[in-house]
């Protein structure tokens, strides 16, 4: 009987310490001041790149519908308008297009929703 009482006395403080420790540690954590809307806006603007769009209800009931980045096709026109009122177009000199194509390593990326091998507009 004394052995049971002694083991209970040893386990009781251990159990109490284990129960109290998480509660005490939560009080010891530093409290973060709330972030003002101006600071949040500055942090959002400073982040590089774009955020993925929501693809919720965009894939015609296909699941999982996930946002992925895909390369976009360049939309640069090889023709320039001579006169906005005449409607005529002229091709720029070939040397200019060669220079533009030679140093064009910019690959723009865009967002699409993807599900089971199909792409959907977000």
pLDDT digits over 17-43, tens only?
766 666 555 555 566 667 777 777 676
Specify if 115 maps to a domain.
yes
Specify if 83 maps to a domain.
no
Specify if 17 maps to a domain.
no
* Contact criterion met (CB below 8 Å) for 68 and 109: no
Other C-beta atoms closer than 10 Å to the C-beta of 33 total 6
Specify if 58 maps to a domain.
yes
46-77 pLDDT tens trace: 655 677 889 988 999 898 999 998 888 765 55
How would you classify residue 57: left for phi > 0, otherwise alpha for psi between -120 and 50, otherwise beta? left
Specify if 68 maps to a domain.
yes
Query: For all residues of the chain together, what is the average pLDDT?
Result: 71
Rounded to two decimals, the pTM is: 0.39
The domain total for the chain is 1
Range of the domain at 56: 51-72+100-122
Q: How confident is the model at residue 90 (pLDDT cuts 50, 70, 90)?
A: low
Specify if 56 maps to a domain.
yes
């Amino acid at each position: 009987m004394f052995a049971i009482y002694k083991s209970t006395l040893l386990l009781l403080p251990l159990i109490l310490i284990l129960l109290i420790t998480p509660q005490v540690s939560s009080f010891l954590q530093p409290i973060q001041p709330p972030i003002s809307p101006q600071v949040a806006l500055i942090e959002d603007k400073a982040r590089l790149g774009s955020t993925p769009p929501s693809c919720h209800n965009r894939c015609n009931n296909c699941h999982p519908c996930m946002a992925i980045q895909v390369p976009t096709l360049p939309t640069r026109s090889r023709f320039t308008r001579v006169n906005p009122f005449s409607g005529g177009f002229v091709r720029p000199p070939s040397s200019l297009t060669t220079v533009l194509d030679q140093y064009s390593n910019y690959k723009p990326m865009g967002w699409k929703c993807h599900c089971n091998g199909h792409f959907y507009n977000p």
